[in-house]
């Protein structure tokens, strides 16, 4: 606008125009346009005024007629907005909506990142309650076994292979020096063996589960965000299972030494004591404890087979050993019990997910960081600002969906607990658990993919240990038959029919019993092994149960 036009306007009008333009509060270009329009309007209104005095008077009247600048500024601003072209309006509305969404998302992520799970179920207490038998404490083997493990003294390191790769050797195969080392080692562990042997006569094994001392310290001394994780069932303290196993191996060496010395009663009793301790640890508690129990039982089964087939064993002692061996699992051989593993998954979910909201809760960022890191106390990770992990948490399946997956997994493994490897294969469920886990999206189901174990091998281990136990029981019966009748029976069915054996020993890798066949003046007894094929009693020296391409049978006799 020409400055000349401004000069004809009274001061009161110019002041009003500037104030009104200021109240419009809009873009600079729009304000300039409004100023030009107002100046033009007032110039036209005052053009007929004869002198300056009249222009001043009429100008005041026009200003009063225009009214309040604040209200008028708002009206002008709205009018300008309504006058925009449609595509400008669309762009502006879209940008405004996007801004609101971004702000809402930022607020949501802030709340999301700082959400915390709520632990409602004490699975540790539940585990202790369901695993403890209603029997007097003085019948509990755990205190004695724990003491034996604490008292145990290892073999000198240079002879440790006698308890590892060379454990299967007989007493006679060792050198004088090696036998001397074992004698000295067994003398040092006399008290540990006494406690172990006394424990073998107890009726049950129960220990109160608790968190490891390291986890307790971490939960109280470290950042509070780690506390829930450190007190999960993953942090339950383990007993000294290695010492349990080595004290059991000491019992087998003692049995071998006694057998060579002609002390058959001690040899058979020590072997049976090892088997009873193995049985006490099976069918309850943590899977690793059960597996160690099975391993200890298998050691005893293999040794009992050797003892039964020794030429000098007295018939009356062998008959007594047969009776004691049959009583070890008088209530049936326990398969793996996976209650602890199932509870661990449920406990993990309640510690990793919030409780409530859409989908029953979402995974927390800290839970993902704990699982991603090699150590949950990795100081190099700034957990709140880890955008990658936050994005994982945002897309991860919600709590209810993860719980449904855990339910399905638990139902599968519980159903398969009592199915032999042969039955799993015949039913088509051999890889059902693996397939279920592998089929989950790695991003959306990171928690279940990371934590749900495929436990089919554990069940197979249990059936193998059962087959080894039943093979020992069968060979004891065969040897008693042979010593009483002077020859081997024609079939295992004859043993059962004559009362030497309660039932046929089941082969976990076939639909029938272990294969028995007379061969010359002896016999062969075997399982078909992992290839499920009868290889005629050939055992792969590199894989006793026939795992791998070469296959093979699991031969219990001859050894």
> Taking 80 as the threshold, does the pLDDT of residue 550 lie above it?
yes
How is residue 52 written in tokens? 């300056």
For the stretch 495-535, pLDDT in tens is 999 999 999 999 999 999 999 999 989 999 999 999 999 99
> DSSP string covering 487-532, please?
S--S-HHHHHHTTS-SSPPBPTTSSSBPEEEEETTEEEEEE-TTTT
For CA atoms 143, 147, 150, 154, the dihedral sign is negative
Instruction: Please report the pLDDT score of residue 18 as a whole number.
Output: 77
The angle subtended at Cα 106 by Cα 104 and Cα 108, nearest 5°, is 70
244 has a pLDDT exceeding 80: yes
Q: Which of 500, 494, 498, 499 minimizes the C-alpha distance to 475?
A: 500
Q: Which residues contact 460 (CB under 8 A, 6 or more apart)?
A: 421, 508
- What's the burial of 380, exposed, middle or buried (CB within 10 Å: 0-12/13-18/19+)? exposed
Look at residue 46 in the predicted model and tell me its pLDDT.
Answer: 75
Say which range, 213-217, 329-333, 541-545, has the weakest mean pLDDT. Answer: 213-217
Q: pLDDT (tens digit, 9 = 90+) per residue, 4-33?
A: 666 667 777 777 777 877 776 667 777 777
> In this structure, are residues 16 and 63 in contact, taking their beta carbons and an 8 Å threshold?
yes
Question: Of 10-24, 194-208, 236-250, 434-448, which range is least confident?
Answer: 10-24
Q: Which residues make beta-bridge pairs with 554?
A: 527
pLDDT at 379 over 50: no
Delimit the domains of the chain by residue range: 3-83, 133-207+240-337, 339-454, 487-559
Round to whole Å and give the CA distance between 379 and 43: 73
Distance of CA 247 to the CA centre of its chain: 29
Tokens 């002041």 -> residue? 15
Q: What pLDDT is recorded for position 529?
A: 95
On whether the CB atoms of residues 359 and 398 are closer than 8 A, the answer is yes
CB 476 within 8 A of CB 304: yes
Q: State the pTM of this model.
A: 0.79
How confident is the model over 350-367, as pLDDT tens digits? 888 888 776 788 888 777
- pLDDT over threshold 50, residue 336: yes
* Rounded Cα gap, residues 366 and 378, in angstroms: 12
Percent of the chain, pLDDT > 90? 48
In the prediction, which pLDDT does 381 show? Answer: 42
Spatial CA neighbour of 352 closest among 214, 218, 232? 232
Residue 383's pLDDT band, with cuts at 50, 70 and 90, is very low
Q: DSSP for 192-205?
A: HHHHHHHHHTSSB-
- How high is the pLDDT of residue 130? 85
Q: How far apart are the first and last CA of the chain?
A: 114
pLDDT of residue 222: 52
User: Do residues 413 and 434 make contact, with C-beta atoms less than 8 angstroms apart?
Assistant: no
């Amino acid at each position: 606008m020409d400055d000349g036009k401004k000069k004809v306007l009274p001061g009161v009008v110019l002041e009003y125009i500037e104030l009104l333009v200021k109240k419009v509060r809009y873009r600079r270009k729009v304000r300039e346009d409004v100023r030009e329009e107002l100046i033009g309007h007032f110039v036209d209104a005052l053009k007929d005024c004869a002198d300056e005095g009249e222009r001043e008077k009429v100008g005041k009247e026009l200003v009063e007629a225009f009214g309040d600048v604040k209200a008028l500024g708002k009206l002008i601003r709205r009018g300008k907005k309504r006058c925009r072209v449609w595509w400008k309006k669309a762009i502006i509305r879209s940008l405004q909506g996007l801004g609101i969404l971004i702000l809402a998302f930022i607020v949501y992520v802030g709340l999301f990142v700082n959400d915390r799970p709520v632990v409602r179920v004490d699975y540790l207490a539940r585990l202790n309650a369901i695993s403890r038998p209603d029997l007097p404490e003085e019948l509990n083997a755990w205190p004695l076994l724990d003491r034996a493990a604490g008292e145990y003294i290892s073999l000198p390191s240079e002879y440790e292979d006698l308890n590892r790769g060379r454990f299967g050797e007989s007493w006679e195969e060792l050198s004088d020096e090696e036998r001397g080392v074992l004698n000295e080692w067994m003398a040092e562990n006399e008290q540990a063996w006494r406690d172990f042997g006394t424990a073998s006569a107890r009726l049950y094994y129960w220990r109160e589960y608790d968190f490891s001392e390291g986890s307790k310290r971490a939960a109280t001394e470290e950042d509070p965000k780690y506390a829930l994780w450190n007190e999960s069932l993953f942090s339950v303290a383990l007993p000294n299972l290695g010492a349990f196993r080595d004290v059991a191996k000491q019992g087998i060496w003692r049995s071998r030494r006694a057998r060579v010395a002609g002390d058959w009663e001690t040899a058979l009793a020590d072997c049976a004591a090892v088997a009873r301790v193995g049985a006490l640890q099976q069918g309850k508690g943590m899977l690793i404890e059960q597996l160690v129990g099975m391993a200890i039982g298998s050691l005893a089964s293999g040794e009992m087979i050797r003892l039964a087939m020794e030429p000098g064993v007295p018939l009356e002692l062998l008959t007594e050993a047969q009776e004691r061996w049959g009583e070890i699992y008088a209530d049936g051989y326990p398969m793996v019990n996976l209650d602890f593993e199932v509870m661990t998954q449920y406990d993990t979910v309640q510690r990793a997910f919030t409780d409530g909201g859409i989908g029953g809760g979402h995974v927390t960022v800290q839970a993902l960081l704990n699982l991603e890191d090699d150590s949950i106390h990795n100081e190099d990770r700034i957990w709140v600002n880890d955008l990658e992990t936050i994005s994982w948490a945002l897309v991860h399946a919600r709590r209810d969906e993860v719980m449904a997956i855990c339910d399905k997994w638990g139902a599968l493994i519980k159903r398969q607990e009592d199915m032999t490897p042969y039955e799993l294969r015949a039913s088509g469920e051999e890889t059902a658990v693996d397939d279920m886990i592998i089929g989950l999206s790695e991003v959306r189901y990171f928690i279940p993919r990371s934590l749900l174990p495929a436990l089919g091998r554990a069940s197979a281990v249990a059936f193998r240990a059962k087959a080894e136990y039943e093979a020992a029981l069968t060979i004891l019966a065969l040897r008693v038959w042979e010593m009483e009748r002077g020859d081997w029976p024609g079939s295992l069915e004859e043993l059962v029919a004559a009362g030497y054996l309660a039932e046929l020993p089941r082969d976990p890798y076939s639909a029938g019993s272990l294969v028995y066949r007379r061969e010359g003046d002896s016999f062969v007894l075997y399982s078909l092994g992992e290839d499920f094929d009868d290889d005629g009693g050939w055992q792969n020296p590199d894989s006793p149960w026939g795992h791998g391409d070469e296959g093979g049978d699991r031969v219990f006799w001859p050894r």
